[in-house]
Amino acid sequence: MQATVRHAARLRGSITPPGDKSISHRAAIFNAIADGEARIENYGPGADCLSTLRIMRALGAGIETDGTSVVVRGGLPTEPGDVLDAG
């Protein structure tokens, strides 16, 4: 297929790309071990990203999700009561 654009109109608007998996993992982990509360927008929706949240919760972090946003309340990790399954 070949296309020729002679005159492009001005583009306006915004897009929200899907959440990045690697950045989502790091944001959850770093905020879970930091003091205070952080809101992560556009958190990756994949099963492995959700598994990271589950692990951080098991280590004592406060985790709340709302669509693609995640609120993490961090602090010192606590010893989990069971084996952590990241699968």
The pLDDT assigned to 16 comes to 83
Q: Output the pTM of the full model.
A: 0.79
The DSSP string of 1-70 is -----S-PPPP-----PPPPHHHHHHHHHHHHHSSEEEEESS---SHHHHHHHHHHHHTT-EEEEETTEE
* Residues counted in the chain: 87
Give Cβ neighbours of residue 67 (< 8 Å, ≥ 6 apart).
none
Give Cβ neighbours of residue 59 (< 8 Å, ≥ 6 apart).
32, 77, 78, 80, 84
Locate the domains of the chain by residue range.
Answer: 21-74
Percent of the chain with pLDDT over 70: 100
Tell me the per-residue pLDDT of 22-64, one tens digit each, with 9 for 90 and over. Answer: 999 999 999 999 999 999 999 998 999 999 999 999 999 999 9
